[in-house]
Amino acid sequence: MTMTSTPACNSSNSNGSERRFCYHCRTHHHATEMRRIVSRNIVRWRCIASIKAARQDAAMREAFGQQTTAANRADSQRRMELINRSRYQREA
Ligand SMILES: [Zn+2]
């Protein structure tokens, strides 16, 4: 006769299976994937994936903005040079 003291049916009821409502996705995620956000004394939960995505999105938008402003500056400079050159050629 063997003594099995640990009940096997209770193993699934751990913290890992806890789910929380994500205010960003408006769905439930695992608690392990969530981060607690406190704003104006209100505690809300948001998933780490959406936080990372938003941060990446902002960084990409910033990089894209810098790229476009640099491109715009180069383009306008080129256009000004062309205008100046054509004007000089016409005058000469
Ligand atoms: Zn989420």
Residue 63 confidence (pLDDT) above 50: yes
Which pLDDT belongs to residue 17? 75
Distance 45 CA to ligand 1 centre (A): 8
Say if 21 falls within a structural domain: yes
Full domain range(s) for residue 67: 17-91
Report how far residue 47's alpha carbon sits from residue 32's, in angstroms, rounded to the nearest whole number.
9
Residues whose Cβ atom is located within 5 A of ion ligand 1: 22, 24-25, 47, 50
Domain membership of residue 82 (yes or no) is yes
Given a cut of 50, whether residue 89 has pLDDT beyond it is: yes
Q: Taking a C-beta distance cutoff of 8 angstroms, is the pair 39, 51 a contact?
A: no
Section 57-74 average pLDDT: 93
CA 37 to centroid of ligand 1, rounded, Å? 12
Domain count for the chain: 1
Q: Separation of 11 CA from ligand 1 center, angstroms?
A: 26
Residues near 35 by Cβ (< 8 Å), separated by ≥ 6?
Answer: 45, 46, 47, 48, 51
- Which pLDDT belongs to residue 86? 85
Round the average pLDDT of the chain to a whole number and report it.
85
Q: Is 92 helix (H, G, I), strand (E, B) or coil?
A: coil
Q: Is the pLDDT of residue 14 over 70?
A: no
Largest alpha-carbon pair distance within the chain?
Answer: 111
